[in-house]
Amino acid sequence: MAGVIARRHRKQRIFRWAVLVVLGIFFLLPLAAMVEFSTRNAETWPLLVNWPKLSDTYPDLAEGIVSSLEQAALTAVLMLVLLVPTAIWVRLRLPKLRRLVEFLCLLPLTIPAIVLVVGLAPVYAWVTYFLGGSSLTLVFAYTILVLPYAYRAIDAGLSGIDVKTLAEAARSLGASWTTVILRVVLPNIRSAVLSAAFLTVALVLGEFTIASLLNRTNLQVSIELLGKSSATMSVAVSLAALLLAFVLLLLLSLAGDRRRSTKENS
Amino acid sequence: MADQAVAAPRRKPRGTALLGTVPFFAYVVIFLIIPTLVVVIGAFAGDDGGVSFANVKALTNGYILDAFGRSITLSAVSAVIGAILGALLAYALVTSKAGGTLRRVVTSAAGVLAQFGGVTLAFAFLATIGLSGFVTVWLQDHLSIDLYANGVWLFELPGLILVYTYFQIPLMLIVFLPALDGIRPQWREAAESLGGTTWQYWTRVAGPLLAPAFLGSTLLLFANAFSAYATAAALVSQGSPIIPLQIRGALTSEVVLGQQNLGKAMALGMVIVVAVVMALYALLERRTAKWLG
């Protein structure tokens, strides 16, 4: 029996490395090509880290980067303000509405962004009328886009704690509902809120469809625009954006691990 | 009076409780429900505002049917290739040490590549196998192979399939890994102690258990590719081979008289395809949860 298992382990190891090497080449080749392509012009990378010069040379790109960062931050805030109190409130007071809220939050998964943008065009005509055509108004649409991912993260966090008992304990000690939500429940789902915010930021930084078709700007739109005039620079920015997203998600997985290990220890 | 006094306090908290969800529902109605209704109603509205089936009928036009066909081919082929390769990769990771560095780095990278594709992915492939890309030039210089001897296929369906596979494999890894993790080593040991071979284990035990999860993940991949827009938009600047690009055309170009709402009809067609696929996915998901929950 031990011989069989050892043989299987050897076979699995050979299989594992064969798969990893073949797919590794497939996945790393485009990244390596991006490095090679973006270093053909020696000035590209130094320019990319020199913000004043960059915004001078490529004002559109600089505007796109700033817009995307602002959109990411604002979307995360709006998503949290909208979703966290509602999710807690529905769990505590309106359990019958939970299915409806869940359905609405997961609905954007079945509506492709390209379809949403068709329907959003008339809504955004009103948004532009009231708030102007700033790229920051995209935050409204992005909050809808991130709903499914954010809801899942927050709902998983709420499932992990006993919201009802916590709330009843706080209420019986005279806490108001605002105190219950902000100072009792929220600190307990901190890591779920954090991962929802991380996912939001990653998704918003990668968004292109809605921004492009509603004639607004963000990082991806400016990269696409740049591709038409300076291919090297656009590839360099693409690579930088990919690496940034990778670091964000790696941090997210590390935070998730810490959450799990603290739960196991306690 | 007494009745009211009893009833009032009971009704009041419920009313205020509902009040707490108003911001959320109002927001979702304005930015999700209304846009959806705009698409659905618009698909059946004529240019004069009346009810009309002209837009939906126009969907049977040759070029739109072709675009739908190409979209479905692209999604199906990239989903099947992505599902098979992604499942192999997932199995390779499952046999490695749990919680190891390899697994963490690969799943994080998969998370990025699956969700963060878009425009950056198009540029990655332009840098690789574009006309002056790294691989194209290298093959030309060292092996004198011309990648595009038979025409530039990168901007057509074969190119799109290749590029889409690049984000389908990571997505498959993410959605299929939990199912593979649910397979317990004890089942294999049980099969072996009863004299089963590896082949029998895979065809009689693990295969049937994983089949719903595998099919469900493949459907999810299909819906993912079908809805994708950014990569194709950045890659294909001439012509509109697939439906999302046709919708772009309808949104940005001059409107043909009598077809103002054609874009909405195409969008509705997309929603229907995705909804059917996602419903099947939910069905298979429930079956998977029964075994591997």
- Checking if the pLDDT of B10 tops 50, the result is no
Cβ neighbours of B267 in A, within 8 Å:
114-115, 118-119
Cα B163 to Cα A37, A210, B81, B157: the distances in Å are 18, 21, 12, 10
Residues in contact with B40: Cβ distance below 8 Å, sequence separation at least 6, in sequence order? B268
Could A144 and B31 be called an inter-chain contact, meaning their C-beta atoms sit closer than 8 Å?
A: yes
Name the residue type at position B101: T
Chain B residue numbers with beta carbons less than 8 Å from the beta carbon of A30 are 124-125, 127-128, 166
Q: Do B21 and A241 touch (CB under 8 A)?
A: no
Contact B11, A100 (CB under 8 A): no
Structure tokens at B115: 């969700």
- Give dist(CA A108, CA B280) in Å, integer: 17
Question: In this predicted model, which residue has the larger pLDDT, B81 or B233?
Answer: B81
Model pLDDT for residues B231-243, shown as the tens digit of each residue: 888 888 777 788 8
Interface contacts (A, B; CB < 8 Å): 228
pLDDT-derived band at B98, boundaries 50, 70, 90: low
Count of C-beta atoms within a 10 Å radius of residue B142 = 8
pLDDT tens digits for B143-158? 877 777 777 777 778 8
Most B-contacting residue of A105, A114, A130 (CB-CB within 10 A), to test interface:
A114
pLDDT confidence band for B66 (50 / 70 / 90): confident
**Taking 80 as the threshold, does the pLDDT of residue B115 lie above it?**
no
Q: List A residues 36-55 in contact with B (Cβ-Cβ < 8 A).
A: 36-38
Whether B166 contacts chain A with CB within 8 A? yes
- Count the helices and strands in chain B (H runs, E runs): 15, 0
pTM, full prediction: 0.83
Is A246–B92 a contact, with Cβ atoms under 8 angstroms apart?
A: no
Return the number of other C-beta atoms located less than 10 Å from residue B205's C-beta: 16
- The partner residue sitting opposite B39, judged by closest CB among A115, A220, A234, is A115
- Chain B interface, mutation test: which of A4, A110, A199, A223, most B Cβ atoms within 10 Å? A110
Identify all chain A residues contacting B20, using CB atoms and an 8 Å cutoff: 85-86, 89, 93
How confident is residue B8, by pLDDT bands cut at 50, 70 and 90? Answer: very low
pLDDT of residue A139: 92
Burial code (b: 16+ CB inside 10 Å, e: under 16) for A156-195 equals ebbeeeebeebbeebeeeebebeebbeebbeebbebbbbb
- State the CB neighbour count (10 A cutoff) for residue A120: 26
Token representation of residue A216: 């607004």
* B244-277 per-position pLDDT tens digit: 888 888 877 755 555 667 888 888 888 889 889 9
Which of A98, A100, A223, A206 lies closest to A146 in space, CA to CA?
Answer: A206
pLDDT band, very low/low/confident/very high, at B99 (cuts 50, 70, 90): low
Q: Any idea how long chain B is?
A: 293
Cα B113 to the chain's mean position, in Å? 13
Compute the distance between CA of residue B1 and CA of residue B13 in angstroms, rounded to an integer. Answer: 19
Q: Which tens digit of pLDDT belongs to each residue from B157-209?
A: 888 899 999 889 998 988 888 888 877 778 888 888 888 788 888 888 888 88
Write down the CATH superfamily of domain A46-265: MetI-like (1.10.3720.10)
Please state the ipTM of this predicted complex: 0.83
Which SS3 state, helix, strand or coil, does residue A151 take?
Answer: helix
Distance CA B264, CA B270 (A): 10
Q: Is A108 on the interface with B (CB under 8 A)?
A: yes
As a residue count, chain A comes to 266
Banded model confidence at residue B14, pLDDT cuts 50, 70, 90: low
**How does pLDDT run along chain A (266 residues), one tens digit per residue?**
567 677 777 877 888 888 888 888 888 888 888 888 888 777 777 777 777 777 777 888 888 888 988 999 999 999 999 999 899 888 888 888 888 998 899 888 888 888 898 888 888 888 888 888 788 889 999 999 999 989 988 888 888 888 888 888 998 998 888 888 888 888 888 888 888 888 888 888 888 989 988 888 888 898 888 888 888 888 888 888 888 878 877 777 676 666 555 555 54
Is domain B63-292 in CATH 3.30.365.10, yes or no? no
Domain extent listing, chain A: 2-38, 46-265
Residue showing tokens 């990411």: A72
Distance, in Å, from the CA atom of A120 to the CA atom of B30, rounded to the nearest integer, reads 9
Closest residue of chain A to B262, computed from CA coordinates? A118
Amino acid A173: pLDDT: 92
Tell me the angle at which helices A113-131 and B262-292 cross, rounded to the nearest 10 degrees: 120
How confident is residue B54, by pLDDT bands cut at 50, 70 and 90? confident
pLDDT in tens, A54-108: 777 788 888 888 898 899 999 999 999 999 989 988 888 888 888 899 889 988 8
The pair of three-digit structure tokens given for residue B117, joined into one six-digit string? 């594709």
